[in-house]
A and B are shown apart, each in its own frame.
Chain A
Amino acid sequence: MELTSPRFKANVRDALRKPNLKIAMGRLISTMGPRRLAARAGLPEFERLCDQARDIKNHTLANLDFYLEAYETKLRATGGTLHWCRTPAEARAAILDLCRRADAKTVTKGKSMIAEEIGLNEFLDANGIEPVETDLGEYIIQIAGEAPSHIIAPAVHKTKEEIADLFFAKHQRYGLPKRSEPKDLVDDARKILRPRYIAADVGITGANFLIAETGSSVIVTNEGNGDLTQSLPKMHIVVASLEKLVPTLEDVTTVLRVLARSATGQEFSTYTTFSTGPRRADDLDGPAAYHVILLDNGRSRLLGTEFQDMLRCIRCGACMNNCPVYAAIGGHAYGSTYVGPMGAVLTPSLVGLADSYHLPNASSFCGRCEEVCPMRIPLPKMMRAYREQSFAAKLGPAPERWALAAWAFAAKRPRLYRLASEAAARLLGNHGARRGAFRRLPLAGGWTGGRDLPAPEGRTFHSLWRERQCSLARERQRPGAA
């Protein structure tokens, strides 16, 4: 996808003008938050499991070189092939090469954020190979020509009515009538996709986990589309990034117990599918070839830095489901593959801070994301670290930097600060007294665009306090005073 994060503010204005987005986001927030809470309440050891999951990932990241090699060794022993890819370009080239070897005309795809990250669909299209998204949400945005707006619910920005209109427009060529019921819409998509699974030459899926102990990849889905995608074609390509690694099967089961609960509030996703190598001689079905594209794309650079904790992320989406900023603007406004709080931290790591300056800055630091993150990722702390980098590199607008410098100059000089704040209190207090609040104020347009700014009372606390102390002292000095 095209990175539009540099135009974040314009994206936000557009998003806030879309009434349907508000409806769709309202539905997401009002369902996902309570579902997660209910799932958490139903598992007394949930918080302890989160600590264990965090420790598993920390251990893996601290020994990533060892586990990566162990994984590759196991993968090879099962007949699979690992493709180390440093960049999105290398990953795309490796996938295209594999598709050509399979003489592929169409590939089916399970949901994969790494495929989004490397812009796989556009690339395959441009090379004469048709990608067919099989996850319902991904299918919707593919036929709409859009990017995902959520890492696990890619079409969450659309209302049911918008999807009905979209399906009617795109499905007329199959002779399908206008539908309105979700079940009918799903049935239509299923009817269209079924033959595509059979016809596909290659199936591409993501991976929620890669297991060093067994060389397996794991996907969790709710639609079963991933299973059809990876088991029917003759070649299965897994696209994954290197932080998906966990040491053992036992570890995977621990992390799985917090994943679905945090993501959708389910105890477990409907399908949890383990893939270990290609079809063996006595297997009834499965792909003849099994390849894993292992993408770095800047992640290994985060190891040993203050951003390493981000590599624990298991892409549950809890941070965005509970983020008031994400709820207000939706995912597309971020203009990046990864959105919401996790995207605000991961995007600068992947594309550089200059192009994504706004993402870690556009947060009220309410702390909800960190609170709900099952992997205990300190998202606000990392956003602040990126703010420190952007401050040092002077990436913010000059007037903001000047205002901050003036504030800091005064805040470090209490006597000067007293004079300035008293002058401001009197000036604003006088001007605002009649109405009690300002509709407009120079330099505060960001605030007063949609809100009034309550006026100061007219004197600062410290000047009033000093007056009170002085008059108390005078009273004490008066002859006859107690």
Chain B
Amino acid sequence: MTTDRPTVALFVTCLVDLFRPRVGFAAIKLLEAAGCAVVVPDAQTCCGQPGYNSGDRADAVAIARQVIDAFAPYAYVVAPSGSCAGMIKRHYPTLFGADDPYRAKAEDLARRTHELTSFLVDIRGATRVAASYRGTIAYHDSCSSLREMGVSRQPRLLLASVDGATLAEAANPEVCCGFGGAFSVKYGDISNEMAGRKTQSLAATGAATVAGGDLGCLLNIAGKLKRDGSTVTVRHVAEILADDAHGPAIGEARDAPGEGHE
């Protein structure tokens, strides 16, 4: 673990903001435990993917500028999502022409931006967390974490250090769960079919809990499991790593007990 105390700006992500704020607080707890000072820039809304992936480039560019300005002063930018971090890191620089002053700013931001678990492991040198969770956990790789951010080993390393937790590997971890942002609504039939295949392979591991680093996938997976009457619960990996897996899992009734946690 390094000894400096860098300032990390949290990119909350619009889904965490709206659906599951506890993931944001869990991320802050983990970042502080890793020796970082955390700030939450106020001017953030969304990374712009809904527009970018729908062909609305002008609005994607406008939102990218907003994010670039809001996160300019900080040493690091961390998101509890490979998808939003991937948008900032891999796609923002492509939104601006070589002569646009925002090109260099976007490239600078890209260099400072990380997905949460890879930041903890690769940048902060974390190898374990102080958390306990009873049960078997299957980690779900999001496509953007896996392919855009090189994240797969880091969350598993940290989960393996959770007291009482056992990791299970699903077949075909590289296959998409079918979320795909607006795709999940625009092409709901296809998305739902993909989700069903993913939840089948996750359930086949026998794990009681699915953990993942991207709330979009997790809403999709939890929603499919719930519709099918499964008892498998779904949580963001940050909740488990921060020892914050109390209370209802994703899609569970609000008065449901926080299973798995002691």
Q: Which residues of A contact B (CB under 8 A)?
A: 9, 12-13, 16, 33, 324-325, 327-329, 361-368, 371, 384, 386-392, 396, 400, 404, 407-408, 410-412, 414, 417, 421, 424-425, 433-437, 439, 444-447, 449-462, 464-465
**Interface residue tally for chain B (C-beta within 8 Å):** 72
* Contacting residues, chain B, for A391 (C-beta < 8 A): 54-57
* Contacting residues, chain B, for A365 (C-beta < 8 A): 53, 143, 180-181, 183
* Contacting residues, chain A, for B219 (C-beta < 8 A): 453-454
**Interface hits, B190-209 → A, CB 8 Å:** 190-197
- 19 further A-B pairs in the complex, CB-CB below 8 A; given A371-B147, A447-B223: A9-B189, A16-B189, A325-B190, A328-B194, A364-B180, A411-B14, A411-B63, A412-B59, A414-B42, A414-B66, A436-B254, A437-B223, A446-B189, A450-B192, A450-B224, A452-B222, A454-B223, A455-B251, A461-B21
Which residue of chain A lies nearest to B17 when distances are taken between CB atoms in the complex? A461
B16 close to chain A: CB less than 8 A: yes
Partner of A436, one of B18, B21, B196, B251: B251
Which residue of chain B lies nearest to A465 when distances are taken between CB atoms in the complex? B40
Q: A368-B174, A451-B227, A461-B16 are in contact. Are A325 and B251 (CB under 8 A)?
A: no
Which residue of chain A lies nearest to B195 when distances are taken between CB atoms in the complex? A451
Query: A452 touching B55 by the CB < 8 A rule?
Result: no
Query: B188 touching A454 by the CB < 8 A rule?
Result: no
B185 close to chain A: CB less than 8 A: yes
When each residue 23-41 of chain B gets 1 if its CB lies under 8 Å from chain A and 0 otherwise, what string results? 0110000000000000010
**Interface hits, B212-226 → A, CB 8 Å:** 219-220, 222-224, 226
**Interface hits, B151-209 → A, CB 8 Å:** 172, 174-176, 178-197
B9 close to chain A: CB less than 8 A: no
Query: B220 touching A367 by the CB < 8 A rule?
Result: no
Query: B253 touching A436 by the CB < 8 A rule?
Result: yes
Q: A325-B194, A400-B186 are in contact. Are A408 and B143 (CB under 8 A)?
A: no
Query: A364 touching B179 by the CB < 8 A rule?
Result: yes
Selected interface stretch from B43-51, B100-108, B115-123: B43-51
* Contacting residues, chain B, for A456 (C-beta < 8 A): 18-20
Query: A433 touching B254 by the CB < 8 A rule?
Result: yes
Query: B191 touching A412 by the CB < 8 A rule?
Result: no
Partner of A366, one of B172, B176, B223: B176
**Interface hits, B55-94 → A, CB 8 Å:** 55-57, 59, 62-63, 66
Which residue of chain B lies nearest to A371 when distances are taken between CB atoms in the complex? B147
Q: Could you list some 13 contacts between A and B, CB below 8 A? A: A364-B176, A391-B57, A396-B54, A407-B51, A408-B62, A411-B51, A412-B66, A436-B253, A436-B256, A437-B252, A444-B185, A445-B188, A454-B222
Q: A371-B147, A436-B254, A445-B188 are in contact. Are A363 and B59 (CB under 8 A)?
A: no
B250 close to chain A: CB less than 8 A: yes
Query: B176 touching A324 by the CB < 8 A rule?
Result: yes
Which residue of chain A lies nearest to B250 when distances are taken between CB atoms in the complex? A454
* Contacting residues, chain A, for B17 (C-beta < 8 A): 421, 460-462
Query: B175 touching A324 by the CB < 8 A rule?
Result: yes
Partner of A446, one of B18, B53, B176, B187: B187
Query: A451 touching B224 by the CB < 8 A rule?
Result: yes
* Contacting residues, chain B, for A437 (C-beta < 8 A): 222-223, 226, 251-252
B248 close to chain A: CB less than 8 A: yes
Shortest beta-carbon distance from A419 to chain B in Å: 12
Distance A475 CA – B227 CA, assembled complex (angstroms): 45
Query: A404 touching B51 by the CB < 8 A rule?
Result: yes
B22 close to chain A: CB less than 8 A: yes
Distance A390 CA – B56 CA, assembled complex (angstroms): 10
Distance A447 CA – B220 CA, assembled complex (angstroms): 9
Distance A434 CA – B256 CA, assembled complex (angstroms): 9
* Contacting residues, chain A, for B137 (C-beta < 8 A): none
Distance A364 CA – B49 CA, assembled complex (angstroms): 12
Shortest beta-carbon distance from B250 to chain A in Å: 5
Query: A324 touching B178 by the CB < 8 A rule?
Result: yes
B12 close to chain A: CB less than 8 A: yes
Q: Which 4 residue pairs spanning A and B have beta carbons closest together?
A: A364-B180, A446-B188, A391-B55, A450-B192
Query: B24 touching A452 by the CB < 8 A rule?
Result: no
Query: A447 touching B184 by the CB < 8 A rule?
Result: yes
Distance A366 CA – B192 CA, assembled complex (angstroms): 15
Distance A433 CA – B63 CA, assembled complex (angstroms): 32
Shortest beta-carbon distance from B103 to chain A in Å: 18
Partner of A368, one of B43, B176, B196, B220: B176
Which residue of chain A lies nearest to B83 when distances are taken between CB atoms in the complex? A365
* Contacting residues, chain A, for B14 (C-beta < 8 A): 411, 421
* Contacting residues, chain A, for B248 (C-beta < 8 A): 436
Query: B143 touching A364 by the CB < 8 A rule?
Result: yes
Query: A362 touching B195 by the CB < 8 A rule?
Result: no
* Contacting residues, chain B, for A450 (C-beta < 8 A): 188-189, 192-193, 195-196, 224, 227
Partner of B45, one of A13, A390, A404, A410: A410
Query: B59 touching A408 by the CB < 8 A rule?
Result: yes
Query: A368 touching B143 by the CB < 8 A rule?
Result: yes
Distance A371 CA – B51 CA, assembled complex (angstroms): 24
* Contacting residues, chain B, for A454 (C-beta < 8 A): 19, 219, 222-223, 226, 250-251
Query: B21 touching A459 by the CB < 8 A rule?
Result: yes
Distance A363 CA – B227 CA, assembled complex (angstroms): 23
Distance A433 CA – B20 CA, assembled complex (angstroms): 13
Partner of B44, one of A414, A444, A451: A414
Query: B46 touching A464 by the CB < 8 A rule?
Result: no
Which residue of chain B lies nearest to A364 when distances are taken between CB atoms in the complex? B180
Q: A13-B189, A437-B223, A464-B21 are in contact. Are A446 and B55 (CB under 8 A)?
A: no
Distance A365 CA – B179 CA, assembled complex (angstroms): 10
B259 close to chain A: CB less than 8 A: no
Shortest beta-carbon distance from A19 to chain B in Å: 13
* Contacting residues, chain B, for A455 (C-beta < 8 A): 251
* Contacting residues, chain A, for B181 (C-beta < 8 A): 364-365
Query: A407 touching B50 by the CB < 8 A rule?
Result: yes
Which residue of chain A lies nearest to B226 when distances are taken between CB atoms in the complex? A452
Q: A324-B176, A324-B178, A460-B18 are in contact. Are A362 and B55 (CB under 8 A)?
A: no
Query: A329 touching B190 by the CB < 8 A rule?
Result: yes
Query: B227 touching A452 by the CB < 8 A rule?
Result: yes
Shortest beta-carbon distance from A157 to chain B in Å: 15
- Of the listed residues A366, A439, A450, the one surrounded by the most CB atoms of chain B closer than 10 A to its CB is A366
Distance A421 CA – B12 CA, assembled complex (angstroms): 13
- Of the listed residues A9, A325, A451, A458, the one surrounded by the most CB atoms of chain B closer than 10 A to its CB is A451
* Contacting residues, chain B, for A445 (C-beta < 8 A): 188
Query: B190 touching A328 by the CB < 8 A rule?
Result: yes
* Contacting residues, chain B, for A446 (C-beta < 8 A): 184-189, 191
